[in-house]
C-alpha cells in the first residue's frame, strides 16, 4: 500500500508541475481557477482514460512487435517513436553508437 501512496504522490507532483508550467505561460493573459469532478464525471473519465491507455498500449505494441522488426530495428528501452498514422509516417529515435558520438 505504501507503494501506491508513493505513486499517487508522484502523480500529484507531476500534475502540479504541469499546471505551474502552463500557468507561467498564461498568467499574463489568463486567470486560474481550480474545480473538482463529480463522482459520476470521475467514474466516466476514469473509464475513458483507461480505454485511451489501453489503445495507446496496443498501438505501441503493434509498432514495437511488427513495424520496427520489419525495418530492422530491435526496440530497446531507449528507442523512441513518433508516428502519424494518417500520414503513414514513423520517426524512430535510437541511441547513437560510440562511433556516431
Span 2-53, pLDDT tens digits: 888 888 888 889 988 998 988 888 888 888 888 999 999 999 999 999 999 9
Tell me how far apart the alpha carbons of residues 63 and 61 are, in angstroms, rounded to a whole number: 5
- Find the angle CA(23)-CA(27)-CA(31) to the nearest 5 degrees: 95
CB 78 within 8 A of CB 92: no
What contacts 32, CB < 8 A, 6 or more positions away?
23, 26
| Position 91 confidence tier, pLDDT thresholds 50, 70, 90 | very high
Kindly tell me if the per-residue pLDDT of 1 is higher than 70. Answer: no
- Whose cell is 522488426? That residue is 69
- The model scores a pTM over 0.95: no
Amino acid at each position: 500500500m505504501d507503494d501506491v501512496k508513493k505513486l499517487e504522490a508522484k502523480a500529484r507532483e507531476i500534475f502540479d508541475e504541469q499546471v505551474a508550467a502552463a500557468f507561467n505561460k498564461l498568467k499574463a493573459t489568463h486567470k486560474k481557477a481550480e474545480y473538482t469532478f463529480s463522482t459520476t464525471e470521475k467514474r466516466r473519465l476514469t473509464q475513458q482514460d483507461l480505454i485511451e491507455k489501453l489503445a495507446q498500449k496496443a498501438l505501441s505494441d503493434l509498432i514495437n512487435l511488427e513495424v520496427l522488426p520489419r525495418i530492422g530495428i530491435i526496440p530497446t528501452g531507449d528507442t523512441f517513436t513518433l508516428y502519424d498514422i494518417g500520414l503513414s509516417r514513423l520517426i524512430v529515435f535510437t541511441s547513437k553508437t560510440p562511433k556516431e558520438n
